[in-house]
Amino acid sequence: MFDYSARPDLLNGRVILVTGAGRGIGAAAAKAYAAHGATVLLLGKTEANLTQVYDEIEAAGHPQPAVIPFNLETALPHQYDELAAMIETEFGHLDGLLHNASIIGPRTPLEQLSGENFMRVMHVNVNAMFMLTSTLLPLLKLSQDASVVFTSSSVGRKGRAYWGAYGVSKFATEGLMQTLADEVDTVAAVRANSINPGATRTSMRAQAYPGENPLNNPTPEEIMPVYLYLMGPDSTGVNGQAFNAQ
């Protein structure tokens, strides 16, 4: 496990947007960021899930989060602009962006993968992530110390059979991270890095490995050290790096 212990006030005063914040790793990250002082913007497509995370953060006495229902699969360009405008009006800037939301798609040989399924996975996992990044970058540049964290995968670092669109999308994620990191290097107080969560006890993992005993994998809460490290000031100057949570 990534060795890092975050001090309680690590993220005090920071505004951090988390995609896919309704469950799994996204929900765990949102709660961890809030517990360390951040105002968290909970973005996801299922409002009921986001509201549950909101309620848990409120009940714990952490800074009041915001619920942002937003469907990355269907959102149009103007909706990204409206999202950025809303964040600027309400919060003035953005200190962190965790790209966590993605879909797995069919695990099948490329030969049997339909173009429709390939494009759907690439749209959610890559196109929407690009749209969010480019639209929110001006708000991140208004921060004194901003961090963009991309969620990768071991199959996005070395190709593996039958991971098709998902694997390709994670290679693209690494490419987007590296490109952004090189562009902001020394010219903006923004850094970009990626995290490979590894095998974690989530519904997506269960979908990919139905025969696996989930109890053998750590919970999302247990892999949070690297997520906290990359969002806080201790990682200032760390840019363009690919991290493993485990």
Catalytic positions are 166
Rounded to whole angstroms, the Cα distance separating 5 from 14 reads: 18
- The partner residues of 98 in beta bridges, in order of sequence, read 18, 149
Q: Which residues contact 212 (CB under 8 A, 6 or more apart)?
A: 199, 205, 206
Residue that has been written with the tokens 């020394």 in this structure: 186
Backbone φ and ψ of 66, nearest 5°? -130, 140
Give just the sign of the alpha carbon dihedral 67, 73, 78, 84: positive
Six-digit token pair at 216?
């053998």
Other beta carbons less than 10 A from residue 243's beta carbon: 18
Q: Which residues contact 130 (CB under 8 A, 6 or more apart)?
A: 176
Angle of helix 128-141 relative to helix 77-91, nearest 10 degrees, comes to 30
Residue that has been written with the tokens 């490290």 in this structure: 229
The three-state secondary structure class of 238 is coil
Residues 226 and 195: beta-carbon distance below 8 Å = yes
Residue that has been written with the tokens 């050290």 in this structure: 225
Residue that has been written with the tokens 């913007």 in this structure: 41
